[in-house]
């Protein structure tokens, strides 16, 4: 079993879709852990604010099988794949980390967004502060502290 960290986000019926996603992740993987939930502005387009969180699951699926299952999970939540990359989303689920794996075919690991966006790094650092980033070789919390010290962070905690 591999520890897998997933980034979840939604800005359309966000609370409903994230709750549903969590239930389906629990149904598939059993016990899961999740971070606090944060509100953040849309990135790359003008749109409603997003709700973002990180979830840890333990899985024996291959990266490709997991990626395919998560794609289907997004589709079950009416994800519109005809929209541009930066657009409104009913549900977005990304594999952030798959154990210590670096690169996995078409799935880029660790996900570059971890160190690029507060709405990914902060919930990951909250959930797993001592976890080492496999290429940066720093803890998630130390990455978060450096990130937060270098720029203004626009995240607001909220409830699901």
Q: Which domain holds residue 24?
A: 2-158
pLDDT at 45: 83
Domain count, the chain: 1
Mean of pLDDT values over 7-33: 97
Mean of pLDDT values over 16-29: 98
Q: What is the dihedral of CA 46, 157, 20, 76, to 10 degrees?
A: 20
Helix (H, G, I), strand (E, B) or coil at 150: helix
Closest CA to 54 of 113, 127, 138: 127
List, for residues 41-57, the tens digit of each pLDDT value: 998 888 899 999 999 99
Mean of pLDDT values over 3-32: 97
Q: Residue 152: pLDDT above 90?
A: no
CATH number of the structural domain spanning residue 42: 3.30.70.560
Question: 80: pLDDT confidence band, cut at 50, 70 and 90?
Answer: confident
């Amino acid at each position: 079993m591999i520890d897998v960290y997933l980034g979840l986000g939604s800005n359309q019926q966000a609370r409903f879709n994230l709750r549903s996603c969590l239930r389906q992740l629990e149904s598939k993987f059993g016990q899961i852990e999740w971070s606090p939930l944060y509100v953040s502005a849309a990135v790359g387009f003008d749109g409603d604010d997003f709700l973002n969180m990180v979830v840890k699951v333990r899985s024996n699926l291959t990266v490709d099988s997991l990626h395919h299952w998560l794609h289907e999970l997004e589709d079950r939540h009416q994800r519109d794949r005809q929209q541009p990359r930066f657009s409104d989303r009913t549900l977005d689920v990304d594999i952030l980390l798959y154990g210590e794996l670096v690169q996995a075919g078409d799935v880029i690991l660790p996900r570059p967004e971890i160190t690029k966006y507060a709405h990914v790094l902060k919930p990951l650092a909250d959930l797993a502060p001592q976890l080492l980033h496999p290429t940066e070789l720093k803890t998630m919390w130390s990455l978060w502290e450096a990130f937060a010290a270098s720029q203004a962070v626009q995240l607001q905690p909220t409830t699901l």
